[in-house]
Structure 1
Amino acid sequence: MKLPFQIMLYFAGFGLLFGLLSVFGTGRTLETFITDRELKQGSLISQIIVKSISRDTINGDIIPARDTLKSLVDKHDLIHYAFITDFDGRLFAHTFPGQFPAQLAELKDISGGRYLTLAPQGIKILQDSYPLIPGMEARLNVGLNQTGNLSFIKNVKTRIVEISAVVALFGLAIAYVFCRRICRPLEKLTNHIRAYGRGELQEKVTIDKRTLEVSQLANEFNQMIDQRGKAEELSLRLGRIMDQSFNEIFIFDAETYRFIQVNQGALNNLGYSMEEMTHLTAQGIKPKVTPEQFDNMVEPLRTGEKQMIVFETVHKRKDSTMYPVEVRLQLMHDENPPIFVAVIQDITLRKKAEQELENHRNHLEHLVNERTAELKETSEQLLHSEKLAATGKLAASFAHEFNNPLYGVTNVLEEVKDGVTMDTDYQNLVDIGIKESHRMAGLIRNLQDFHRPTSGMLIPFNIHEAIHDMTLLLGKKLSQRNVDLEMNLADDMPKIAAVPDQIKQVVLNILQNAEEATPDRGTITVSTEVRDSTIKLHIRDTGPGISPENIKKVFDPFFTTKSAVKGTGLGLSISYGIIKTHGGNIDIQSAPGEGTTMSITLPIYRNGHEDT
């Protein structure tokens, strides 16, 4: 319905409503006034009655109480009936000529100030009640005849309705004039507002300024258009900034943690729609943070201890994949209700870079440790080579000087043994002297070999030949001690460039050391392998092993843990020199109680080797 018709109806309705309210208000006022007046008059009469019948009621004298009650009621036209209830709330006496009306007996509430129609006469009654004794159940109940009063009130209401009809017609005339002056500008403004609501209006509304209020309303509407346009433009800019941000931006309720707004970057990364996000909470996408932990984290924001907290956690996507994030969280107290604003940065690449950096650092540390170990080993080998060189020079200086005198002593002792008859004791002493002379000569020869470790020509040589020959020499001794000899030799072993006698000497020295270290019923294992451009020989025993402080000295000249009778400490030193001369390496692994493994590495033979 259009506004002019509405206004005319409003005016007409106002007139009618005025009449109805007047009827209702006047009627209620008259009823209240008459009721109060009647109740006051009835109260005065009732007080007289109460004084007259209180004693009879207390004594239980029904007939005197009834007669007194009836005589007093007959004197007053206002009172139509009266009845008394005793201290138990039961009917005691009444003024009705016959039985007590069932209509009154069935009433649950007979308190004062209540209107009712008494059948069958249809008399309008105002019911009132007064206590015989304050605080007791015994009461005097009276019915005040209101038929005349109500008829007067009805006539007054009829007059008011007639006046209201005249007012309504006058209101319609005023409404018509008002609509001509006010409604047309309002209708024009309304049409502009509707068009603006549909997004169709771009221009401002113009209203005749003769109607000041409507003109002001139009101006306010135009200002609203300007402000709303600016707000929409700002909102669009902020929305574009949020959606174009590479970071995830979340806005969620400070109490329920339920998401209110999420930018497009977060939706793309998590894989949810905006509708789905509004059903999730900030805790729901953080599987590694419990609700209690999250409450504890945001507590400094609630108390104002901190303005922002920064922490790292993991977000869970819709497809259950996870990715690391850095969270910057703030609490907006001024919003109603308060909200959290979280700016999230996906730190997958950063974590990957950190992990790669850590791996690179560990790799560099490993390389440094390897290079340090190699440098240490090279330094030790250089030191050992210097020791060997010094020993060789020492051997060269005194081997010749000792050899000739020793040879002469040995010849003299042999001549004495062959040409002189001696007691057995002296004969034994001469034998010991000859034996020790030969041992000393062997020692001098070892020293000379140590000084000149390579005295032959390098030829292609299969190291398995040296292994077979040397194990054959030791076979009987090993079997006597029940020492097992295990052979794990590689197939198709390539040859090496070697001086065979020297390689056999090295193998024999190491096998002898292994045999001497291995207890009875122990095991010696000999194995070979081909690795890259080298061959490797491993000789392992089940002996007591070598302590860490001695393992660095095993290749030093004259170092031995054996007695002087069993060894001179030159065997491994000479072997070391021979292997180095052949371009190889000799290594030892041992620990107390775990046996010892000697490993020899030699280059595979290639054409073009020169004599050494």
Structure 2
Amino acid sequence: MTTPRLARPHHTPREIRWGLKAKLILSMLFVGIVPLVIGLGMAFWQGSQEIRDVNGESFKALATEAARKLDLLVADEVTRTSRIASEPAIVQELEHRRDRLHVPPPPAASPADSDAEARWAAHDPELVAQITGGPLATLLQEYYTGIHSAPDQLLPQVVRSATKMLFLTDVQGTLVAAMTATPAFRHNHTAWWQGAYNQGAGKLYIEDVHFDEKINAYAFTISIPVMDSLRYEVVGILHRVVDAKEFFSPSTHVIRFGKTGHVMLIDSRGIVMSCPILPTGVSLSDQSLIPLITPLQPGWTQASSDGHGGKTTSIIGFAPLPETSRATNGSLSGGSWHTFVWQSSDELFAPIQHLFIWMTIFGGIAVVLLAVLGYVAASRIVTPVRALQQAAQAIGRGDLQTAIDIRTGDELEDLADEFTRMNAQLEAAFAGLTDQVTLKTQEVDYLRQSTDQILDAVPTPIVLIDARESVHYVNQAARKTFHLAPEATPPLSLFTVLPLDAAGQTKLRQEFSGTASETRDSAAPIRNKTPRDPLAQSETHEGTLDRPELQIGARTYHYQWFRLPSRPGEDPQGGLVLRDVTDDSRLQDQLIQAEKSGSLGVLTAGIGHELNNPLFGILGLGEAIQDETDLARARSHARDIVAQGRRMAAIIRDFTGVTARDTAAQRIPVCVETAIERALAAMQIATDLTRVALHKTFAGETMVLAIPDQLQQAMMNLLLNAVQAMKGAGALTIVTTQADQLATVRITDTGPGIAPQHLARIFDPFFTTKGQGEGSGLGLTVARRIIRKFGGELRIESREGAGTTCLITLPVIHNQSPKEGPCTASPPCSEPQPSRS
């Protein structure tokens, strides 16, 4: 016997099919490349960061050291200039000039000073010779040339050449002595003079770099106050103008590293003071770079520009000149001086680029090695797998004799051995397959016959239907019920089996196809149902009156759809279970009629019970009238008879449904105590109360919204029940209370009480614990119905042998007067006190 072959899927030429070897190679490359790329990337990133950090810290240290040297250079010049300002001859001469003025500095210009200023502007030879060749000018020249200076006080050659102007002013800012005729005559209006004068206290003042038109160069100035011999006040200002480029370039241009690295000096405005590349006086090209490199602490930063016109990423070191910056903070710009250490990005990041190139080369070599190793490993795996594939194809063709020879010494060899064992087991299994198929066929036939016998034994008609409304099975009960001929064998038309009218056929078709507008769960379409046992009881609509019905002839059937498991590739199949309910419907109609008769009996008995009390009262009053000679009392009895008659009419209206049309608007404010008193008065007419001790404790005018006659009727029923329970002798206690929004009436008797097993049924109609002929069992039922109609509640508390208490609660109304007259009670409602009768 050969097994069926499975067709292999056909691949179109356009379909790209990856082989196992290619997948393994790609997987190994992916597994190797991803960690490699991540590792190399992280190493490159970490290396780049470390190189940046090292360069940045180096630039920071270089900037700090350069700032320290430049700060010392400026401090030395300030010290040398201060020595000139402290020369005794200069101090003495300026004190004499101050004393001759006899005015507090700075005074207004005198006519003589104005004339001297005009002469100086006109280059008067006499005045020029006096200022540039006088004793003070000679002294300045000697200090400048170093004729009378000590070696450590001698101005260096670079400083002498950078100093463009050196002159002295008095306390009024007037030029006193100068080395050249270049300075202006009056200076008290200038910022540097006012800053150094400092309102007579004196202060070192270093002016920021600016373009000086007199020397035609960018310069900075050093202004030192000349103090009097007591060091108390300023007597003059020594002013020195220095060419910034000539002064700083010998100290900054020599600091070079690499091909492009250098140090430059800038102020807080970004103005270049000294740079090997940029000219003095220009501003940095990128203004956003200035706040990054001009803080008051040394450091380094990575910026998007280099300040020299380039837009590439740069690393810049910076450091302030602290001592010099303290003096320049008093200038107009209020800025500070900073060193700027920079190197071209191409040169700076060259090591990082080399690192990247070498890492790329290393990564490429690693990828090639991974591809070669992946190819070798894939070949070692794919070759035995292909052998296993060929073996599987042989098994698919039914060739179970082909041996599989794989010697890899791993799991693939074990898998080949398992294939060989599987071949042997399949060959043995196929040998007995025919016998098993025969046995299974016989078992299926047996199950089918058993199912048919079980369904035929069911007394309920069952019809099995396919999706085309074709009946392919009818059980014996259905054949008998619907009178099918023995030769009528499936398949049959559904409506041949079920002789329905046109409306019934349309209904079944809609339910079967699911197009009915209101489909019941039991009549849902077959495809939406879960397969189930047709003989099992359904949870939906079981025992209810709303199950779907069919009228077939004179019989009525309840029916239910069910679904059967379908074979693969076939439409869902289902069926109908029908149950003859004709006799059940008749029995149900009889039960309904009997229930109506019973309800009518309850109504009749209730009317009789409620009419007995006023009727007995009418009879008693009628007998009293016959023997009454007093006309007034006879009229009183007649009025009572009329009242009892009206009460009987109200009872009849209530029981016959007329009161159902009453509305809440017909209710009036009623005094509860008055209703109790009237009920007691009416009860005394027909009942002997001579042996009953009556105790009444009333709360006052307790007003409720009710119909007086009906409330009196309920109270009388409860009072009469209590008197009858005590057999006409005992104590009857009536208490009314009012709390919050509720009025409570408590009626307590000393009768025998009610057994616990009877308490749950005392409000049932016709239930009574009295003897035969003593009561109808409707008094409590009627009383509770009336109390509830007025929004209240009636509750019974009783213990056997200890009496019974009736608790009535009704909603209270406030600020209302009774419509039926004043609230009367004995004793009066307004003064609660017990009374006994």
Same fold, judged at TM 0.5 (above): no
Give the number of the structure whose residues are more often helix, by fraction.
1
TM-score (norm 2): 0.21
